[in-house]
Structure formats: C-alpha cells, structure tokens
Amino acid sequence: MELDELKKSWEVLDNRLKKKELIDEQTLSNLISERTKQTRSSMNKILLYAKTTLIVGFLALIGLGSYLLIADYNNKEFCLWLFIWIMLCIGMAWDSMGYMYLKSIDIEKMPLVTVIKKMTAYHRNFIIECFVAAVFFLSAFVIQAFCIQLFTLNFVSILIFSIVWIIGCIVAIWIIKSLFYNKLRNIKRNLAELGELNQD
C-alpha cells in the first residue's frame, strides 16, 4: 500500500472524529479525583507487584535459610532445599534488578527510542525469566528423583515418575510457546527496527 492511500484513510478517520466528543468533562473530573485517592497507573501496579514479590521472597529466604542452618545435612531432601534456597537468592537478585529497571523508566521525559529499548529489554528478560523458571522446576524435579533414590524403586514407579516428568516438560514448552509466541515476534520486530538505527 502506498503512503498516500494510508494518509487518505487517516484523514477520513480524523474528520469523523472531529464530529464526536470522546470524553466528557465529568468523566475527566472523576478520573482526576480517583487519581488523588490512589495511584492507578499500570506501571505503579507492576512496581507494587514487584515490591510484594520481593518482600515475600525475602521472608521465604530467611525462613528457608534458618531451616537449612538447623537441618540435618544427611537428610535425603537437604540438597533439594539447598538448591531451592540458592535459586531463591538468584531470583531475588534478578527481581530487585527488574524493579530498579522499571523504576528508571521516565515516560514523561524519556524519548520514545529509549522507552522502546527499555521495554523491549524488559519483555525479553521476562521471557528469559519464564524459561529459567521452567528449567528450575524441572531441575528441582530431577534433584527430588535423586533424593528419593528413584532408581532403587520398582519399574512401575520409575515409569510413572518418567511419564509425569515428560508430560510436565511438554506442557511447560507448550505454555511458553503459545503464551509468548506473539511477544517474541514483537520483540524480534522491535529489535530489528532499533538495529536499523545503528546501520544508518
């Protein structure tokens, strides 16, 4: 399609919109008064969510850390809890960085290219986070298998455990693929457009 055709369509839309009142003063006034009661920005919601996750994670870290200090090292499941504790530490550090990163986005002052770069990186990191979380759960499952000494059990138990593990893998991959396919495509597109700037 030529740009001129696009422009014509845009002008038609603009002319139609001129005749309409999109938002009335009462609605605007309600919106402002609601704003003074509480902050409803989606970015603030995300920051609040990140803050809550950090607090809960921190508490879990202390609780599990205390348990590990007094736990019996020879206990079968000690290595599993230690693995979870280490992953929790890494997850907390990652979350803190994400929180600081989102906080640094200033939509009022930052030019568009900067916001696009930051948001693309944020979305990409979110997908990486999901992959890592999936790997973490699968690893925890494998470690648990060693903890309970799966290989010493009978054939049926090993078979059931393996089937559950394979189904878990398939479901995890399917969820990630279907949930993030569009996101990944958009990220790729945004990165390509930003990459063009470096070529210019």
User: What are the residues binding other proteins (CB under 8 A)?
Assistant: 1-3, 6-7, 9-10, 12-14, 16-18, 20-23, 25, 27-32, 34-35, 40-43, 45-46, 49, 105, 107-108, 110-116, 118-120, 186, 189-190, 192-194, 196-197, 200
Residue (156 or 195) nearer to other proteins, CB: 195
Residue 43 DSSP class:
H
Residue (124 or 140) nearer to other proteins, CB: 124
Interior CA angle at 124 toward 118 and 125, to 5°? 90
For residue 38, the minimal CB distance to other proteins (Å) is: 11
Contact in structure between 61 and 93 (CB atoms under 8 Å): no
For residue 137, the minimal CB distance to other proteins (Å) is: 22
Contact in structure between 124 and 187 (CB atoms under 8 Å): yes
Amino acid at 92: M
For residue 185, the minimal CB distance to other proteins (Å) is: 10
For residue 184, the minimal CB distance to other proteins (Å) is: 13
Residue (71 or 102) nearer to other proteins, CB: 102
Residue (32 or 156) nearer to other proteins, CB: 32
Cβ-based neighbours of 150, under 8 Å, separated by 6 or more: 157, 158, 161
Task: Give the separation between CA 72 and CA 125, rounded to whole angstroms.
Answer: 37
Residue (1 or 156) nearer to other proteins, CB: 1
Task: Give the separation between CA 91 and CA 97, rounded to whole angstroms.
Answer: 10
For residue 127, the minimal CB distance to other proteins (Å) is: 13
Signed CA dihedral, 26, 27, 28, 34: sign only? positive
Task: Give the separation between CA 200 and CA 162, rounded to whole angstroms.
Answer: 53
Residue (96 or 190) nearer to other proteins, CB: 190
Largest CA distance in the chain: 77
For residue 109, the minimal CB distance to other proteins (Å) is: 8
- Six token digits for residue 5: 């055709």
